[in-house]
Structure 1
């Protein structure tokens, strides 16, 4: 009976571990905030579902507010379809979300300097329970800055330089160590040959021979 219980507990534990490994993990990663004129820019918006076992109706709205201007709706995704609103970005917005609608990102194609401003991602979920519906909302704001040319970050440039210096130092150190080891091995071989030659001399002639001693 005890063996049967232990076997059942082991199987249950394995099943729980398999379920845990198979469950998709949602990580809310912040979006990039810098773009270069003429290139595409993905505005990341990840809104993880807290109750994946509950059926949910998800509506996503993207708003844009230029510097010193008013906020307006530029894109809406609902019922499995996306629709652009009239704006300066109309025709340049591409849906980049996932099937489970936890990643609801969009991509701005061929960004311009005039696209700088605040983007707001609004996610509304209607969770359907047996007795009632529960509404959950989340907002993520992204302050985008578009530049004419791509300027490298000073920190990244410095890190790259330090990496090359470190690689050069390690290469020189490795060569020195190889040379040192080679000299030690060569001296050891010479000493070994001298001892072997000495032992090969008849005993009556050893008094007139001297073996070089390495200090």
Structure 2
């Protein structure tokens, strides 16, 4: 009974997330001074079966300025920090292959000077059978740096933790499902073995009866 219930829960969870291989979630927009912050950038490929290669560029326009600065470039597997203000503070946290769909970078030791507009550009080449298709996706957002995290940011972090717990629960349910499958398989093999022994016993009994008839 437990195995059947676990199977239903697993199916429901996966059906609800059957298209969740890539989800374009917007980046958070508030960072805390002195802490780290993830600049999120996701561009899902529309056709997963098509191979592709992409590069990622990040630009930053400080508060009160007119022009964007080119601060970061990633072309797998090499990453380049292009602005002195971000020297040794940026790290690649995106896809670990050339077919990039997650172009996130991480800022260490955020300062109030990091307040401003960030632009993420993913330049993707799709390798189609007859030709190559070039696609460029740009995403912009305003980042505000505060001294102390507000309640809204805390709520978002709590939501992220909730999703992590859901993933852990899914993995646990998969483990239960595998255990139940093995147990059912072993029970089935046991029944088949008992049937074979019973059939063999009946065959021997029938043979003994036949021998008794011949002796008489």
Please indicate the TM-score interval, normalised by the length of the shorter structure: 0.5 to 0.7
Which protein has the bigger helix share? 2
Q: Which residue of 1 aligns with 2:88?
A: 91
* CA-CA distance at 1:23 after TM superposition: 7.8
Aligned in 2, Cα 1:66/1:55: closer, same or farther, shift over 3 Å? same
Question: Does the residue aligned with 2:46 lie in a helix, a strand or coil?
Answer: coil
CA distance in 2, matches of 1:104, 1:31: 11
CA distance in 1, matches of 2:83, 2:154: 40
Q: Which residue of 2 aligns with 1:39?
A: 35
Q: Which residue of 1 aligns with 2:58?
A: 62
CA distance in 2, matches of 1:80, 1:112: 28
Aligned in 2, Cα 1:52/1:117: closer, same or farther, shift over 3 Å? same
CA distance in 2, matches of 1:72, 1:154: 27
| Structure having the higher Rg | 1
Question: Does the residue aligned with 1:88 lie in a helix, a strand or coil?
Answer: helix
* CA-CA distance at 1:45 after TM superposition: 0.6
Aligned in 2, Cα 1:115/1:124: closer, same or farther, shift over 3 Å? same
Contact 1:74 1:90 in 2 (8 A): no
* CA-CA distance at 1:103 after TM superposition: 1.2
Higher relative contact order (CA closer than 8 Å, sequence separation 6+) = 2
**TM-score, length basis structure 2:** 0.58
CA distance in 2, matches of 1:98, 1:148: 31
Moved over 6 A (4+): 21-24
Deviations 1:151-174 (CA, angstroms, capped at 9, x unpaired): 334996xxxxxxxxxxxxxxxxxx
CA distance in 1, matches of 2:48, 2:152: 39
User: How many aligned residue pairs are there?
Assistant: 137
